[in-house]
Amino acid sequence: MHVTPKALREIAATARIGLADDEIESACRDLNLIIDSLEPITRYDLEGVEPTFHPIAGLNNVMREDVEKPGLTQEEALTNAPATQNGQFKIPPILGDNGGDR
């Protein structure tokens, strides 16, 4: 399974990483090199083997009680924001892409 430049453009677009045309080819090469190294995974017969999504066996039902806790002030929340207005995070217009809806 290899990634084509066309597929990579799509992958970069959904990951919101802008790639210049001249970066596509080398990124493709790097990715395919790594994908080749993943081959051992595909050789297994894994019929009936349960996946391990969490490395601690038996970890389950971890919850907290429904208790309100102080969070950040508005000022703290906005400290690191590139742009703000009236206590909110300010962003450029959303449209211009497929972002009108989810």
> Of residues 13-32, which lie at the interface with another protein (CB under 8 A)?
13-19, 27, 30-31
* Terminal C-alpha separation, the chain: 30
**Contact predicate 87/78, CB 8 Å:** yes
Between 25 and 63, name the residue whose CB sits nearer to another protein.
63
Ranges within 75-94 binding another protein (CB under 8 A): 76-83, 85-94
Q: How far is the CB of 25 from another protein (least distance, A)?
A: 13
Ranges within 46-75 binding another protein (CB under 8 A): 46, 49-57, 59-74
Q: Kindly write down the DSSP assignment for every residue of 7-40, as one continuous string.
A: HHHHHHHHTT----HHHHHHHHHHHHHHHHHTHH
